[in-house]
Amino acid sequence: MPSAAWHDGASMNGPSLDTIVNLAKRRGIAFQSSEIYGGLRSTYDYGPLGVELKDNVKRAWWRAMVQLREDVVGLDASILMHPRVWEASGHVESFTDPLIECMNCHHRFRADHLPDPPVCPDCGNRQFTDARNFNLMFKTYAGPVEDAGALVWLRPETAQGIFVDFTQVLASSRKKIPFGIAQRGKSFRNEITPGNFIFRTREFEQMEMEYFVKPGTDEEAHQYWIDERFDWYLRLGIRREKLRLREHAADELSFYSKRTVDVEYEFPWGWAELEGIANRGDYDLSQHAKFSGQDLSYFDQESQERYVPYVIEPAAGADRCLLAFLVDAYREEEVTTASGKVERRTVLALHKDLAPYKAAVLPLSRHENLVPLAKEVASLLRPRFMIDYDDAGSIGRRYRRQDEIGTPYAVTVDFESLEDNAVTVRDRDTMAQDRIPIAELVAYLNERLVGT
């Protein structure tokens, strides 16, 4: 059984960010983009394991937010939208002033709103970036002519696509308030100070849901979503003591927000936001009604009232969540192997729903008698689970490799398998080994891998 000892890259408080960055690069989870050209600052590519992990994070979110709910439907809106959208939302106007950013807490301020020399009103820090006439949105041109009429923005959040499509989705889904619209997708922000690996980048992926409610029921719905979102991280294995809720102070709230609470994780550099859950009131729908000239109100048949719904928004980032899951799952342990030897191993104790590979098929050796059966076992599992097949190196080393990427089950095909048509299944966490008939292997794994 593993003992919880920490070494080298990991302290009692968890791994350093460097340890995670190195693991991510070495194992093809995430690495610098355009590296052969020297890289582009703060852009990262997800490798073969990273693309699975991120997909599993997004799928876990979708499952909780859409699949398992009667009251939420999905949407995939365009990244490029009508430029008026960003005028209505306030993004064009609010981000065109000279901005400086506090180098400590990364809050941004209008340079002309702070004393000279500036002091950060949020954390007291005196170091700031230079002032720039800064719009956080990336600008580009649609079509061949680069003039003002062709100007479009890359969306800085997925939320506005949901507001703009509100009546479309309402009519086609025939939902009644309260109901929500969920969306995952890329967003772009020209951050002044990106950093901390994939925590803050200029291109990132969001997972947002807008929950439309009757005014007056908004506070209760807000609290419900705060609790529900906090619980989602716990259900996916994040340690309770590494997670907290932080209430925004009145002077920190966005001008339209009644109340905002962040879910924060204790990263190697300190507590930082994973997700914000905001009560946005009727700001967004009212603004779009005003700017588009369309009626975005809702007729409530039950109460025979017409109103502009209030909106509760849980807004998370897929990349940040992925980083938190990685950091939280990372362990360096001293373990006693089946043969009684004490060894050290690195293990990613990822929730099974998140693990990139669900199982690895490992022939004991490359012996010509073993390989056909091992390939057969792999073919049996492959249509059902994302699996790895690895026949390189000693079996002990291959177990370590799978531990390090969080594969929950290692399936070993040995010489006995040729006689008894059974395989050894090793559990990543307990390292216990079960002998399972090949005919029962799919059922065995299914039972242990079904989603939360």
- Where do contacts with ligand ATP occur on this chain (CB under 6 A)? 157, 189, 191, 200-201, 204, 206, 273-276, 315-317, 319-320
At its nearest, how many Å lie between ligand ATP and the CB of residue 290? 22
- Distance in Å, CB of 207 to ligand ATP, minimum: 8
Which CB, 266 or 319, lies closer to ligand ATP? 319
> What burial class does residue 63 get, using C-beta atoms within 10 Å of its C-beta: 0-12 exposed, 13-18 middle, 19+ buried?
middle
Nearer to ligand ATP, 203 or 334 (CB): 203
At closest approach, how far in Å is the CB of 359 from ligand ATP? 31
Concatenating the DSSP letter of every residue in 268-293 gives TTEEEEEEEEEEEETHHHHHHHHHH-
Measured from the CB atom, is 227 or 440 closer to ligand ATP?
227
Eight-class DSSP state of 67: I
| Closest approach of ligand ATP to the CB of residue 108, in Å | 9
DSSP secondary structure of 129-144: PPPEE--SS-EEE-SS
Q: 164 with 183: CB under 8 angstroms?
A: no
Query: Cβ 268 to ligand ATP, closest distance in Å?
Result: 16
Nearer to ligand ATP, 156 or 408 (CB): 156
249 secondary structure, DSSP code: P
- Least separation in angstroms between CB 191 and ligand ATP: 5
Nearest CA to 361 among 423, 319, 404?
423
CA dihedral 417, 420, 423, 424 (to 10 degrees): -100
Instruction: Give the span between the Cα atoms of 104 and 274, in whole angstroms.
Output: 18
Nearer to ligand ATP, 161 or 317 (CB): 317
Which amino acid does the sequence have at 450?
A: V
- Do residues 72 and 65 make contact, with C-beta atoms less than 8 angstroms apart? yes
Phi, psi of 103 (to 5 degrees): -75, -10
Q: Quick one: 194 or 363, whose CB is closer to ligand ATP? A: 194
Between 29 and 361, name the residue whose CB sits nearer to ligand ATP.
29
Q: Which is nearer to ligand ATP, 324 or 360 (CB)?
A: 324
Give 129 or 297: the residue with its C-beta nearer to ligand ATP: 129
Q: Work out how close the CB of 263 gets to ligand ATP at its nearest, in angstroms, rounded to a whole number.
A: 8
Q: How far is the CB of 206 from ligand ATP (least distance, A)?
A: 5
* DSSP 3-state percent helix, strand, coil across the chain (nearest 5): 35, 30, 40
Min dist CB 249 to ligand ATP, Å, is: 14
d(Cα 67, Cα 61) in Å, to the nearest integer?
A: 9
Nearer to ligand ATP, 253 or 349 (CB): 253
Q: Which residue is nearest to ligand ATP (CB)?
A: 317
> Residues of 306-329 as b/e, b for ≥16 C-beta within 10 angstroms?
eebbbbbbbbbbbbbbbbbbbbbb
124 burial (CB, 10 Å; 0-12 / 13-18 / 19+) is exposed
CB of 201 to ligand ATP, least distance (A): 5
Q: What's the CA gap between 208 and 170, in Å, rounded?
A: 17
Q: Which residues pair with 153 in a beta bridge?
A: 139
